[in-house]
Chains A and B, each alone.
Chain A
């Protein structure tokens, strides 16, 4: 008699639904409960991930892409112990931190672009026309240009790719959930949810801005960086006379995809020299005619007798229509079944579980200040490194290029001196000037050491093609490694760390400084309950 095949509990990947719904809007909160029965889970290298569909449901048809990837939709994540209700980890500005990690710790992004909805150009800054600009948003990334179009697929007539022709189809993304408690930062490990009494994960979705950015037109292979001032239609403007219909106006040297427009989109017009809108109309059809796109509008548009007209609709106006919804959300969890001996240890009298995470500190630099000290009120006793991300407060939600993700470069900020002051000592001994033609290599060296301290070596400094070689192309960060990689830690509890910044000039706006402090934490579970050692 042949022996029976026995089906026993084994390592497997299961799917958990949020306990509070299936469809969510911007700002919504998703809650998961990972029961302790799962024992150990593996999530440190993306084995545990979110699956959901993202729908472009802007109030009027409008093509947009995510500013970074599917991670952009997740604003904050908080993790609690299910058994005790104790907060174990809080990742504020999760999407900002993930974009920083994605830029620096991945060398190639093909898979992320294919499954996470990542943008075609995974970097933040580029050097154009004598100055550094934040990332622009081309709607056409290459000969085929598919990545930036995934959330707003159109058909060959320029309509949303559904039979209703006004609603875009939902697009599925798979986004790894990177939490410190999962072991996502630093060395690979298994998370003992059985010891932690299960986990409750609360996730807050981002607002539509800055997560989504409208596609801006690409004419003659050049993205229109400032649609506010650049005429979309022929550079000289269109002569739009009273009562003349704008049907079949040709947008030169572009394609339907590159134009960034979609049928149904409402476009406003102004006279060529004017600033106020004089008319608006919805696009009713688009046709590719050779190297141009013929665009027809619903209404007659009058800019004045004999006056050239231009599209005056700004990205800001379009952005007000931006919206998305997240649907069919599931969390795939990779469960590992511990061997009997290990299980005993996990449920034994005392368990210490160490993990690496970050905490976030906010600061603002007034526009007129020439010297500023960024105070970092961390009490982490096992700190590893510090990274400060600077951006213009007024452009945090910029429609074309949100500085919340892409940051600002030191030249734009007039930032010419950086020095850390920790435990009454200055690091490095001499301040350095991070501007692109000054101490940029030292800035990048400090950054590399800060990433090595958290065991996540830098694999990319961004795109160095063309003039970008002279500048920063990944987000600009002020960094300091507190220890070398490995088991070393630094006690910040009484060190009162700060960053001393100097500026060669004032700025127009307030600058925000988001400082990420990376540290190890230990959750100690014993007969007396659960304690979290910071």
Chain B
């Protein structure tokens, strides 16, 4: 399996694409915050709206969460 091709930061996903969270590289505080909002490893997310420079809107566990670019660069996702 080619990791480089399959696992990308959430920030690089396009609208309509779905992916499974593989890893959150953001330290303890950030992980806690994300877990409570439904973003855990293995959860499937779908990109609703993405913005070249702004936050990305995703569907995760039935709720809509907007994630800033910086944070979205630290969430690694496998496209499904």
Do A and B interact with each other, yes or no? no
A contact set with B: CB distance below 8 Å: none
